[in-house]
Chain A
Amino acid sequence: MTEVIFEPGRQDIIIKREFDAPRDVVFQAFTNPELIPRWWGARRFTTTVEWMDVRHGGKWRFVSRNNEDGNEYAFRGVYHDVVAPSGTVFTFEFEHGGPGYLQLVTESFEEVDGRTQYVQVSLFQSVEDRDGWIPTDMDRGIRESMDLLADLIAGS
């Protein structure tokens, strides 16, 4: 399933996920602008793609609108490296600013027995910067997790 590695004293967050498909298919899906609104970001946001030029030096910019309060948040960056289907390197910038707003993201796709091991490393400016990325609305987060749990139980 999905694994998050967040260790004290490090300036990165590592996310791992296995997909039940060959890596050329998974890579295509990840880098397809038409699919972004269907999976990128939290469910309570509607994301639109302004630019997504997946090639060396290409720019990307997504705008996510909160369905509840209408607030918009924009994210952008530049592709530093794109090697299909094995990986990408790009900058990730939260335009709103704040601690952790600028990251260097390295994605790798490895195929094992027809399945794809996806690894995303987000590198922050410093340990303090990474720790500052933690959102301040912890109570809301815990409540949402409980809602999610309730949904899962109801759905099973």
Chain B
Amino acid sequence: MEDELSRTFAALADPTRRAILARLADGPAPVNELAQPFDMTAQAISKHLKVLEAAGLISRSRQGQWRPCRLEVAPLDAVTAWIARYRAAWQDSFDRLEAEIKKIQAKEDG
């Protein structure tokens, strides 16, 4: 699980790959269309797509010449779940600290 998440984060760390994912959020697209906004060789784009595919963030249809790329959201859900859990843990801690602060203030006022 850790490796999977590290792969997801590594894949997300690159601005070109994030731009590709943003484009795919609007719907599936073929490779040549994904490559268009970037000043890059087809080979370079293909490398980025391989990283995204290995991280499970995109899938490529095996059928036909068109072979559109599609966004896969499951790995993003795992990351979101972890961040939500981390946030909930800190929120819980800070809520307990705030309760202590209220007690201190009540003592000072009383």
Taking Cβ atoms with an 8 Å cutoff, the residues of A that contact B are: 1-4, 6, 8-9, 13, 15, 17, 19-21, 25-26, 28-30, 35, 38-43, 118, 127-128, 131-132, 134-139, 141-142, 144-145, 148
**How far apart sit A131 and B7, CA to CA, in the bound complex (Å)?**
9
**How far apart sit A116 and B33, CA to CA, in the bound complex (Å)?**
49
Tell me, rounded to whole Å, the shortest Cβ–Cβ distance linking B64 to chain A: 32
List, in ascending order, chain A residues with CB within 8 A of B12's CB.
Answer: 8-9
> Known contacts A21-B101, A35-B100: does B6 contact A9 (CB below 8 Å)?
no
User: Which residue of A has the minimal Cβ distance to B5?
Assistant: A134
List, in ascending order, chain A residues with CB within 8 A of B18's CB.
Answer: 8
**How far apart sit A86 and B87, CA to CA, in the bound complex (Å)?**
23
**How far apart sit A34 and B100, CA to CA, in the bound complex (Å)?**
11
Judge whether A141 and B81 touch: CB under 8 Å. Answer: yes
B36 contacts the other chain (CB 8 A): no
* Other A-B pairs beyond A131-B10, A141-B85, 9, CB < 8 Å: A4-B83, A17-B90, A21-B102, A25-B105, A39-B97, A40-B93, A136-B1, A138-B81, A141-B81
Judge whether B83 and A6 touch: CB under 8 Å. Answer: yes
List, in ascending order, chain A residues with CB within 8 A of B98's CB.
Answer: 19-21
List, in ascending order, chain B residues with CB within 8 A of A132's CB.
Answer: 2, 6
- Give the secondary structure class of A's interface: mixed
List, in ascending order, chain B residues with CB within 8 A of A19's CB.
Answer: 94, 97-98, 101
**How far apart sit A113 and B33, CA to CA, in the bound complex (Å)?**
52
**How far apart sit A20 and B104, CA to CA, in the bound complex (Å)?**
13
B40 contacts the other chain (CB 8 A): no
Tell me, rounded to whole Å, the shortest Cβ–Cβ distance linking B3 to chain A: 9
Judge whether A8 and B13 touch: CB under 8 Å. Answer: yes
Q: Which of B15-63 contact A (CB under 8 A)?
A: 15, 18
What 7 pairs between A and B have smallest CB-CB spacing?
A: A9-B13, A8-B12, A39-B96, A2-B91, A39-B97, A131-B9, A4-B87
List, in ascending order, chain A residues with CB within 8 A of B87's CB.
Answer: 2-4
**How far apart sit A42 and B2, CA to CA, in the bound complex (Å)?**
20
Tell me, rounded to whole Å, the shortest Cβ–Cβ distance linking B92 to chain A: 6
List, in ascending order, chain A residues with CB within 8 A of B81's CB.
Answer: 138, 141-142, 145
List, in ascending order, chain B residues with CB within 8 A of A145's CB.
Answer: 81, 84-85, 88
